[in-house]
Each structure stands twice: as C-alpha cells, then as structure tokens.
Chains A and B, each alone.
Chain A
Amino acid sequence: MIDFTLTPNDQKIFEHLRAEGLVARKYARQYDENEHEFPPDELPEAKDWPDVWTFMKGRTKEDTSLAVMGMLISHWQTWGDYSVRMRRSESGLGNAALSAAGTKEQVAKWGHLILSMAITEPGCGSDPSRVQTTAVLDEKTNEWVLNGEKIFVTTGCRAQGVVVWATLDRSAGRAGIKSFLIEKGTPGFVVAHKEKKLGIRADDTAAYVFQDCRIPRGNLLGGNEGIPQGSSGGFRGVMKTFNMTRPAVAALGLGMSQAALDFTREQLTEAGVDLSYGPGVHGLSAAARKFQQLEALQEAALLTVLRAGWLSDQSQPNNLEASVSKAKGGTAVRQITQGCIELLGPMGISREHLLEKWFRDVRITDIYEGTGQIQHLIIARTILGYGRNELK
C-alpha cells in the first residue's frame, strides 16, 4: 500500500540525527576554513552518544524498510554537516565496491577497513573504460604489479585501504578492467597530495601514485583473472555498485539543500514574509512563490531517491531509478542552494552563516558518482533500448 508516513521508530532515528547534526554544525565553519586540518573522530559534545545504527534495533515490519531508511539517514546526517558526517563514517565508497565485487573471504578479510575507491585518473573521468593504470601479474612471485596515477579519491587520506581500478590489457577496453584492493602502507603506494576544493573541504580528497606497487595475487576482487572476448566482462557487475551509491549520493546532497531551505524559511519568516501554502500564483509574493518552487523541487528529488531505495528493498531492479534520482538530485540541490542565496541576498553570501557553505558543498553532487550527463546517458539508453554504440 502506498504510504509516506514515518513511524515513531523511524522518527526517533531522525530526531537523534538532527540533534547530532546541530552539534556538527558548530564545527562546520572551522574545518571549512582550515582545509588542512582533519576534524576529530569524536565531537566532544557527542562523544557519549550512541551510534545511529544502534537505533535500528527493535524495528518491526511496520517500520520503513532498510534501504529507504539508509537514504533518509544519509540525508539527515548531511543536514547537520557533510564533512563532519563523513568524518564519522566508518565506511567509504570502496566498502560498497568490496561488498559488491569481492568474494566472501575478501569481504571477511577487509570489510572492517575504511576503504576509498580510486577510479578517476588525470586523463579519465566519466568514461572509466579509459583507465590507464596497469596491473601486471608476476607469476614468479604470484603478485600483481600496479603502475599509474589516481586523482579525486574521496576520503583518500583517511582511508585504510583502497579499491583501485586497473587494466590487465589496455587493448581489451572495458573487459580488461579489474578492481584490486591495496592496503595503506604497501610499498609503491604513495598518497601524493590532498586536493584543495570548492566545498566539502573537511572531507579529504587525495591523489595517489602507484609505482611498481606489488600486492598479493588474491587481492583482485572477485578473483576472476580472465579477460572475456567480445563482452564487457566483469565491468557491468562493477557498475552495479552504483545502483545503491547513486541514490545515496543524491540523498547526501539533499540533506544539505534541506538545511538551506530550513535556514531560508526561518529567516524569511522572521523578516515577515508569508510562506503559507494554499494561494495560487496571484496570492503569493514573488519570494514565497520562489521558495515554494524550491521546496517542491526538494520533495520531488527526495522521493526519487526513496523510490530507488524502496525498489532495492523489494529486490527489484533499480538501475534506471538510481540514475533518475542522481540526475534529479544533482540538479535540484544546485537550484535550491542557488535560489536560497538569491532569496536571502546579502545574508545568503555571508560567511557568518552556513548557507554559502552549503551552496559550495552541494555542487559536487552533480559531478561525483557519475555526472548528471552520465546519468542522462544511462536513462536515455534504457528508455530507448540502446546500447553504448547506438547512443554515445
């Protein structure tokens, strides 16, 4: 049955996250303006607070299902502060890749580590089939030898290990690409530098260099060393990781745009702008109408995220819906934060408030985990029944 009601058990979790979020906000400005500093693992005010997942116990069938909750939890975590939230997170994108592509033994061995994900290179971003980093098997020592450069690695400094995409054979295209797990401290694996960014500054982004970096043969995720002819090999499987991370990434962005809306509503109301719902075009002030449009955008985008999560909970395919939510969320958060600043004018641009930071922080949403254009390519291919050769 169609339902959009949050149960008391659901609400309890979000209340906790909002309280935690308000604590995180006290630190947000500090670590935004001091990009080289890492936020503490524990916020002093919240050090005795239970982890959010402890609230997931004692839930019933009447409560909202797990993946949908996961999306909403991400959303309310970044509502406080994106970077401080990430700092507290004990898993990175590499963990999702390990779960999706690793064998049971590999998941058991490395699942406890914080893992980053290294795909992008100086010469390849949206098209990962162009990966140039190589992995060559040294049969004498039973080791893979990796060489290449990776950039824009989210949580790359703090991570304890990384899932790296490298090719066994550049001429094989996508079929030759495999993912490897490399632990920090492996000789030949260098964290070259930390990137300086527009936003999400407290969440570190690293550049890696691999120079004759040797790892055990068993570190190839999934264990399949073959290069299939005339197919994409394991590439498609690896891409499936994105079916959950894409809506989750949209949810992270939407937490920040929700924060921007809440702040804007508060300030406009205090300034005497009537934001009540009900009247049509001629019954609203221009500011109220604009604000309602931004709120509707937020709601629409969040619902596409929840839909993608819900399908996953029902064990239904959600490839299309994952891209829809990422495409919609990516543009929505930009328009919302840009619009909130427009509505608040000088207050919006002041660094005394966090709105200008949210405006910078959300901008990544439409870029990482596949740009909006990549999402549209996937959506278009799906609805048109086209493959990559028919719609480039």
Chain B
Amino acid sequence: MISFGLTDEQELVRSTLREFAANVLRPAAREADESSRLPDGLLDQAWELGLTSTQLPGILGGGDEARSPVTNALVLEELGAGDAALGLAVAQPSLFAFAVADLGTPEQKKRWLPLFTGSRFPAASVAWIEPSPVFDVLALQTGAEPKHGSFVLSGKKRCVLLGDRAEHFLVIAKNAQSAETGFGAVDAFVVPRSAKGLTVTETEKNLGLKALPTAGLVLDRVEVPSADRLGGTAGFDARRLLALSRTGGAALLLGLARAVMEFAIPYAKDRVAFDEAIAQKQAIAFMLSDMQVETDALRWLVWKAASFLEQGRDATRESVFAWSTAAEQAMRIADNGVQVLGGHGFIREHPVEMWYRHARTLSVLEGVAGI
C-alpha cells in the first residue's frame, strides 16, 4: 500500500530532533566552522539521544527497537537542517554500527556492537573514499589479498570521519582474489587503530564541514584476521551498505537544503529593494518556490529508498535516485540561497555561505552517513 504516513513515534522522534537541531546544533555551527573544531561535549550530549544504540539488540545492551532506516532518515533530515557538519558528526557511529548489525556474523555482532551501547560516544568510522580524482565507490584501489587465515590490506583512504579519534575503521577494499567486478568484489574489514602498518594522517583541511575532523589512512600491508572480514567467509552485501549510506547522505542533504530555504524565505520578505520586499519579485519568489518543489520531491525519494531498506528489499536503484538528486538539488538550492541573500550571502555573518560550502562538500562524500 502506498502511504506517506508517519507513525506517532516517528512524529515524536522528528520533533525531538528538530528541537535538538535548533537549540544545540544551529547555535554552535558557526563557531565550530570558524575554529574547525567540534564543540566540547557535543558528541556525548548527542549520544544520550540514543540515535544509534536504540536500534541495536537488547541482549548486547542496545534499546532492542526494530531497525528503522525510515526513522533514521527522518533523524538525519533534522540533523542536516540544524547543521550538516555537526549533524554528521553526532550520527557518525551509525554507519559502522548498522553495517555490523545488518551484515555481520553473530560473532562479529557480539564483539563489536557493545562498542555502541555504552554511555560514551564511540568513534568508529567507515573508510570507503579514496584520494584519486577518478575514485568510484565500486572501483577501489585499496586491495585485500588473502594470505592463509588472514587478509593483507594495502592502499590509501581519504575523508575518514572522526579519523582523529576513531578506534576502529571498517575499511572497504577490493577483494584481489575475486573474479567479480562491481559489488561482488567489494569487501570490508574491521581494522583497529593500533593495527601494524596502519598510519592515520593528520586531520585534513576541507572546503566545508570544517567542524568535522576527517583524516586519511595509509594501509601498508596491514594484516587482518579472516574473522574480522565483515560477513565472515561469505563476505557481506555491499549493495545494502552503499544504499544505507547513500540514503543517509541524501537525508542530510535534504535537511541542508531545507535549512537554506527556511532561512531565505524570511530574509527575502524582510529585504526591501525598489520599494518592495524582494520576495515580491517573481525573479526571487520563483527561486524560493523552486526550493519548495525540489525539497519536497527529494524527501519522497529519500523516504522511498529508506522504506525499501527497512523492508529488506534491494534499494540500490532507489538510493541512487535519492543520492544523485540530493547531490544535485542541495547544491543548486544552496547556490540560489546565496543569490537570494546577495552580498549578505557572501559574508560569513550569515550561515548561507557556510551551507554553500557544506553542500558542495557533503555531496561528493559517498559512504559516510548511515541510516
């Protein structure tokens, strides 16, 4: 049955997160961006919301609620509307945790999920992106060579979220032995920060999302036991992990786009030129109505992909639609947001120039946000 109806619980989660975004994330965003630093205590404060742990098994200390990518997509939209950098930071453990919860073996869940059910924020990151300008999520340069009872990983990673503090990395690599291409050759390994041969680079300096520290990894023949290969001997379903992350990224971008629109509307009604508010001119009004159309359409794409994931269906196609549309439209909306504000869109007193940088940055990062 086709339905756009949220459950009462989802409505509640949404309004709680909307408040958190408005009261905690938004006021801290500019200072965090200027100083390239996460606000003190933010991660632990957000951790108390239980964004990740609620949907992990009770037997492992989690909240034992059903996995709900739809609810998580609603959460990410609100976090993205508060601030994409801080929102992505506080939701950061989810991709790793849900990868293990959805795709790990029972032993792997027992070993790693308790990391995410404690009282402190656990930094654990998925390392998918690579430095090459022609990087593609399914054509990885980082390779995994089988070697009796273990795998040897070699390659370079970039944009690993919270790389400055993450204790575990889920390194996505190409299985060198696999005859398959595309999804079939994609493997994932849990690598502890202390692994021999692993170097974490200095914190990267990026265009946007500056508050969120990212780092590179250099893997020089890092040996990983076969037991730490996600999904065990069978490997894992890379389609699902990529779809979870694309849909999550799209939900954040949706929130970002909505923030731009919600900021631009009152500004345009307030700013007077040629004796009337600029919002009364079709040239401006139509940029704003376009934002309404595109954020609406994008929201349903995100919901559809999330719903497919919730039902355990293959959401590859739906998540590609959500992600590619989000990347295009969030950039476009942020771009028009700057234009609506004119000179004020260019100065750092208003958040719009920051959102413009956020949009360009986030929309090239695949495999960073989880639902």
Q: Which residues of A contact B (CB under 8 A)?
A: 1-7, 10, 62-65, 68, 276-283, 292-293, 295-297, 299-301, 303-304, 306-307, 310-311, 314, 320-321, 324, 327-328, 373, 376-377, 379-380, 383-384, 386, 390-392
B138 on the A face (CB < 8 A):
yes
A318 to B298 Cα, complex, angstroms: 18
Q: How far, in whole Å, are A386 and B282 apart by their CA atoms in the complex?
A: 12
Task: Please tell me if the beta carbons of A391 and B304 are within 8 angstroms of each other in the complex.
Answer: no
Mask, B283-310, CB within 8 Å of A = 1, is: 0011011101110111011011011100
The CA of A196 and the CA of B6, in the complex, are separated in Å by 47
4 cross-chain pairs, A with B, having the tightest CB-CB distances, nearest first: A303-B300, A380-B285, A283-B136, A379-B289
Given A2-B70, A4-B308, A321 and B138 touching (CB < 8 A)?
A: no
Q: How far is the CB of B63 from chain A (nearest CB, A)?
A: 20
Q: List 13 A-B contacts (CB under 8 A).
A: A2-B3, A2-B70, A4-B304, A293-B324, A295-B321, A296-B325, A299-B321, A328-B294, A328-B297, A373-B286, A376-B293, A384-B265, A384-B279
Contact flags B126-139 to A (C-beta < 8 A → 1, else 0): 00000000111111
Query: Is B311 interfacial (CB-CB < 8 Å)?
Result: yes
Question: Is B366 an interface residue when CB atoms closer than 8 A count as contact?
Answer: yes
Which residue of the partner chain, among A64, A278, A307, contacts B320 with CB atoms under 8 Å?
A: A278
Query: How many Å from the CB of A118 to the closest CB on chain B?
Result: 28
Bound-state CA distance A6–B70 (Å) is 18
Neighbour of A5 across the interface among B5, B135, B138, B311, CB < 8 A: B311
**Contact indicator A276/B307 (Cβ below 8 Å):** no
B239 within 8 A of A: yes
A314 to chain B, nearest CB (A): 7
The distance in angstroms between the C-alpha atoms of A63 and B280, with both chains bound, is 44
The answer to whether B182 has its CB under 8 Å from any CB of chain A is yes
B279 partner residues in chain A, CB cutoff 8 A: 380, 384, 386, 391
Q: How far is the CA of A225 from the CA of B317 in the complex (A)?
A: 55
Cβ A282 vs Cβ B135 within 8 A: yes
Give the total of B residues in contact with A, Cβ under 8 Å: 53
B183 within 8 A of partner (CB): yes
In the complex, whether B316 has a CB less than 8 A from a CB of chain A is yes
Tell me if B183 and A278 are in contact (CB < 8 A).
yes
A279→B137 contact, CB < 8 A: yes
Q: Is B260 an interface residue (CB 8 A)?
A: no
**B137–A299 touching, CB < 8 Å:** no
Point out residues on B near A: beta carbons under 8 Å: 1-7, 10, 70, 134-139, 182-183, 239, 242, 265, 268-269, 279-280, 282, 285-286, 288-290, 292-294, 296-298, 300-301, 303-304, 306-308, 311, 316-318, 320-321, 324-325, 328, 366
Max chain A CB contacts within 10 Å: which of B3, B137, B138, B269?
B3
Please report the C-alpha to C-alpha distance between residue A64 and residue B3 in the assembled complex, in whole angstroms: 8
CA of A293 to CA of B329, assembled, Å: 12
Q: Across the interface, name the chain A residue whose C-beta is closest to B73.
A: A2
Instruction: Determine if A376 and B7 form an interchain contact, defined as CB atoms under 8 angstroms apart.
Output: no
Report if A292-B138 is in contact (Cβ < 8 Å); known contacts: A304-B300, A380-B289, A391-B279: no
Contact of B182 among A3, A279, A328 (CB under 8 A): A279
Give every chain A residue within 8 A of B5 (Cβ-Cβ): 1-2, 314
CA of A64 to CA of B5 in the docked complex: distance in angstroms? Answer: 12
B320 x A277 contact (CB < 8 A): yes
Residue of B7, B300, B324 near A1 (CB, 8 A) is B7
Contact assessment for A303 and B297 in the assembled complex, using a CB-CB cutoff below 8 Å? yes
A292–B324 CA distance with the chains assembled, in angstroms: 9
Q: Would B7 and A300 count as touching, CB distance under 8 A?
A: no
B300 A292 Cβ-Cβ under 8 A: no
Contacts of B366 in A (CB 8 A): 280
B301 touches which one: A278, A292, A300, A314 (CB < 8 A)?
A300
Q: Shortest Cβ distance from A321 into chain B, in angstroms? A: 7
Q: Are B301 and A4 in touch, CB under 8 angstroms? A: no
A303 CB contacts on chain B under 8 angstroms:
297, 300-301, 304
A313 to chain B, nearest CB (A): 9
Asked if B239 and A278 make an inter-chain contact with CB atoms under 8 angstroms apart, the answer reads yes
Q: A63 near B1 (CB under 8 angstroms)?
A: yes
Chain A residues lying within 8 Å of B293, measured Cβ to Cβ, are: 304, 324, 327-328, 376, 379
Contacts of A7 in B (CB 8 A): 1
Find B316's partner among A278, A314, A391 (CB 8 Å cutoff): A278
A292 to B296, CA, bound (A): 20
Contact between chains at B296 and A64 (CB < 8 Å): no
Which residues does chain A contribute within 8 Å of B183, judged by CB atoms?
278
Do residues A6 and B280 form an inter-chain contact, with CB atoms below 8 A?
no
Q: Which residue of B lies closest to A284 (CB)?
A: B136
Distance (whole angstroms) from the CB of B157 to the closest CB of chain A? 16
Partner of A310, one of B2, B265, B269, B296: B2
Q: Would you call B297 and A383 a contact (CB within 8 A)?
A: no
The answer on a CB contact under 8 Å between A307 and B296 is yes
Q: Known contacts A280-B136, A300-B321, A300-B325: does B70 contact A383 (CB below 8 Å)?
A: no
